[in-house]
Every structure is written in C-alpha cells, then in structure tokens.
Amino acid sequence: MKSFRQVSSLLSRSSNNKRKMSQSAAQANLVLDNMNPCIKKMEYAVRGPLVIRATAIEKEIEAGVQKPFPNVIKANIGDAHAMGNKPITFIRQVLALITHPPLLETNEFPEDAKDRARAILKGCRGASVGSYSDSPGIEIIRRHVADYIAERDGFPAEWTNIMLCAGASEGIRACLKLMTNPGEGKRPGVMIPIPQYPLYSASLAEYNMDQVGYYLDEDRNWALDPAELERSISEAREKCDVRAIVIINPGNPTGQVLTRENIVDIIKFAYKEKLFIFADEVYQHNVYAEGSQFHSFKKVMNELGAPYNQMEMASFMTCSKGYMGECGIRGGYAEVINMDEGVMAMLQKSISAKLCPTVIGQACMDAVVNPPRPGEASYESWDAEVQGVLASLKRRAQLVADTLNSIPGFKCNTVQGAMYAFPQIMLPEKAIAAAKEAGQAPDVFYAFNLLEATGICIIPGSGFGQRPGTYHFRTTILPQEDVTKEMLGRLKDFHLEFMNKYS
C-alpha cells in the first residue's frame, strides 16, 4: 500500500544492473526437455524470426547503422493503423465517451456518438466500462451484433448465440478447444485450407490436434475444389477423427472471395461428413473485385433450408480488419448456431474463468455493427471515411497484383478481397541449392535476402503452407499508396538482381 507511491529512486534506472536479472537460472527446473511439447511444436510465422530480424534492423537504423535502404517496410501483418491508415472518427468518439463519461457533457461530440455511448454505458454494471461484463459480453451489444447479422443475411440471428471476444482469435480458440480429446482415443483433427492463416496451425499444435490440410486451387484463383476436400478427408480418416472444417472467406493469405456455388459445395460436404463448420469471415467488409460478393455461410445455409440450416457452425468477425483496422482494441465476435445445448453451456462455462473480453473492445464491435445511419449527425463524414478507406484498399489490391505480375518470375492471383497478395515466385534451381546450403527453405531464403537488401518484411509461403515444390510469400496491401509503390519498386529491383545472381 505504501510502496507504489514511493517516488524516490532507490536505484538508478540505468542499465548497469541489468545483466544479472536477465540471465537464466543456473539450474532451472522448467527446461525445454520437460515443458509442454505442444507449445514447442507450435509456430506462428506472422510474428516469427523474419519479423524479429526486421525489428532488429529498425533498431539498427535508429542507432545510425548504414543500410542500402532508408527504412523497414513491414508488410508482414494485417495491421492497418501501423501502416498509417487512420482510425474512423466515429468509432474513436464512442470509445472516448464511454471511457471518460464527463465528455458526454461537452459539446465536442456529435449526438449519435453520444447516443451510442449512453446505450453502452447503460449496459455496463455501475455504468462503468471498468466493471466486468457477462463472459459472452454485454447484452445490448450482443443484440446489436445479432441485428447486424440479420440485416446482412436476411435471416434472423439470436443474440444469445453471439459471444463477444477479444478479437476473432479468442473466439476461434474457444470453439476449437471444445473438440480436443487429451490423451483419450483417436486424435481429433480439423480440416484447414492450405495455404492457411497460421492461427489455425498454431492453435491445433497447441491443443494437440491433427491438422488436416486441403489445398486451395491456385490455378482457379484459390477456389475450393470439392474433389480436393474428398481426397483430404479420405486420407485423414485413417489417422484421426476429423471433427471440423475451417474456411477463411475472404481468404487469408490468398485474397480470394468464394462464390456462392463454392460455399454450397462446402456446406454439403460438411453435412455429409458430419463436420462442424468454422467460418472465418473477418474480412467480410473487404471485397474489392468486380463481380465478387461476400456470402456468409449462415445465409447460404439458410437459403439451402433443411437439413443444412440445422448444421453446427460458428462464424467469426473482428474489429481488426474491414475498414476500421482496430487491431489493438481487441474486439470481435463469434456467432455459434445449432450447437448442442449441453455443449453450448460448456462453452459458456469455459469462457467464464477468463471473466470477460475487454469492454472497450466490445464497445468497438458495437460501433462497427451499429454505425451512423442516414440522417444521423455523423453519417456523412463516417460514410466518406469508410468509402475512402475501402476505395484506397481496392486501388492497392489492384496495384499490388498488377505490379507483381509485371515482374518476370512472379505469378499473382487477383486480390478479390481481404488484405493480402500471395504471389508465387518461380525460383531458379541455383537459388534452391543456395538455400539448401544456407539450411533454409527456399522461400525463407528469399525472404531473408529481400529483407536484408531492401528492408521489406514479408512472410514466406511456408509459414502458411503451399504445395510442395512451389514457393510464395504473403504481403499485405496495407502500406499507403506511395509506400506501396516504393515497396514494389524495391522488390522488383531486388528480384531482378536475385534472379540474375542465381540464373
């Protein structure tokens, strides 16, 4: 009670004393040999060694080290604000108002933002965002999410099926965890696309579940081939008990938007094979290509009618992507439908020990699903900001794919949606041999060379999965338009030189 107010510096804050504390204990009891083997196995490339090196280079540049490039460009992660994309004013106004309610009494904020803030505070115990919410979230926000889904799909959504969570990842992990089977019987398996977003491979490794990959068809703009689903599951059934299928639509890292027909095929396949559907739909606002349209799994299942509208499915959404890009706020939701009532009760119980997702993250989700409506004070400026962001992303999606396709030895599908391009690189034999000599996968070798030569940080395809013998990388389309051009210029120069060297 006293110590936290002691302001006098008992010791210097210099780094003199630091080494001692950061060394490992001479005789640690918890060591690599006796720790959880699943944690050792998991990999999360989006924040892996390449990114660690990129951050180190940033620090070197800060410290004055000379490099053949002026700055690092981090195209490794879908982090819009980090790349200079601006927050949507209305969202931040609502969040500031609920955080510091005396602002409600000022004239600095529009009435619609104040209305939203008052409704959220009314849903908070003690009218404070500092109180715990119910574990699945604040009722009024869950109701707004259900309304949003109902409007989106034209089919009803039940607010009690909505579980707010700290980003979509948390919801995905909570649902996956229901299907593990520690140490008993056949190993559980989950079908995931290859290439996939490594949250899935990392979480499956952590939960000691089998990863059952199905390849997306690169030649058909990463479409999903029902025959490939059949191949994948029939091979897997021998080894594990396949419980669920993950679909990422729009695709990460692949940027495709599934057609309605493709979704119908997947639903029918999942029905036949008795699979729980994980619909990762976090990029539902990010659709750019002419003719592409987002269809939610929920909507298509309902359009198909019985028995498909009775299937178990969880759909995931976030505040981190879309036009808002509020990654650091950690807001998201899962809509879980047709889950067995007993299992649903267990899901609710399992999240209760984590108390509740961040209330401000929940409020951010509210501002996304309950935006200004025509006629409200903020509508026009909000709409202009949103359309501005989406139009710019659309231009960048096109620019990235077109530029990559203009480079000899690159093949890039249309970025129909999401925030990434996943081009294939045709690496010459000599480069593959050089990679082998360096003890690296060829795409990792390429990515490290690119980083050291140009400061561009992208993620090699092996972090997401790819057909053997093919090489890719994922780049975001998030750098601002001038930076995107600068990045593609550096990439092209590097690539031509690299090909020259290894041809």
Q: In this complex, which beta carbon is closest to its own copies, that of residue 359 or of residue 421?
A: 359
Q: Give strand ranges (E) for 153-218.
A: 162-165, 188-194, 210-215
Pairing relationship of beta strands 473-476 and 420-421 according to DSSP bridges: antiparallel
How many residues bind its own copies, per CB under 8 A?
147
Q: 230-289: which residues touch its own copies (CB under 8 A)?
A: 243, 274-276, 284-287
Q: Which residue in 250, 196, 248, 193 sits closest to 417, CA to CA?
A: 250
- Residues 396 and 483: their CA atoms lie apart, in Å, by 10
Segment interacting with its own copies (CB under 8 A) among 73-81, 212-220, 407-415, 450-458: 73-81
Which of 352, 380, 430, 436 is close enough to bind its own copies by CB under 8 A?
352
Q: Is 483 in the site for its own copies (CB under 8 A)?
A: no
Q: Is 395 in the site for its own copies (CB under 8 A)?
A: no
Segment interacting with its own copies (CB under 8 A) among 155-163, 397-405, 440-448, 487-495: 155-163
Q: Is 443 in the site for its own copies (CB under 8 A)?
A: no
Q: Is 227 in the site for its own copies (CB under 8 A)?
A: no
Q: 77-136: which residues touch its own copies (CB under 8 A)?
A: 77, 79-85, 87, 92-93, 95-96, 99-100, 103, 106, 108, 124-126, 128-133, 135
Which of 160, 234, 406, 503 is close enough to bind its own copies by CB under 8 A?
160
Q: How many CB atoms lie within 10 A of CB 352?
A: 12
In DSSP notation, 133-166 reads: PPTT--HHHHHHHHHHHHHHHSS---GGGEEEES
* Interface map 355-384 toward its own copies (x if CB under 8 A): xxxxxxx------xx-x-xx--------x-
What counts of helices (H) and strands (E) characterise the chain?
17, 14
Which of 122, 220, 349, 501 is close enough to bind its own copies by CB under 8 A?
349
Cα–Cα distances in Å, from 21 out to 18, 110, 156, 348? 6, 51, 57, 41
Q: In this complex, which beta carbon is closest to its own copies, that of residue 72 or of residue 488?
A: 72
Q: Residue holding tokens 């029939």?
A: 234
Q: Is 418 in the site for its own copies (CB under 8 A)?
A: no
Q: 313-332: which residues touch its own copies (CB under 8 A)?
A: 324-330
Tokens of 149: 């889904």
Q: Which residue in 356, 316, 369, 328 sits closest to 94, CA to CA?
A: 369
Q: In this complex, which beta carbon is closest to its own copies, that of residue 350 or of residue 470?
A: 350
Q: 41-70: which residues touch its own copies (CB under 8 A)?
A: 42-44, 47
Q: Is 161 in the site for its own copies (CB under 8 A)?
A: yes
Phi and psi angles of residue 477, each rounded to the nearest 5 degrees, phi first = -105, 25
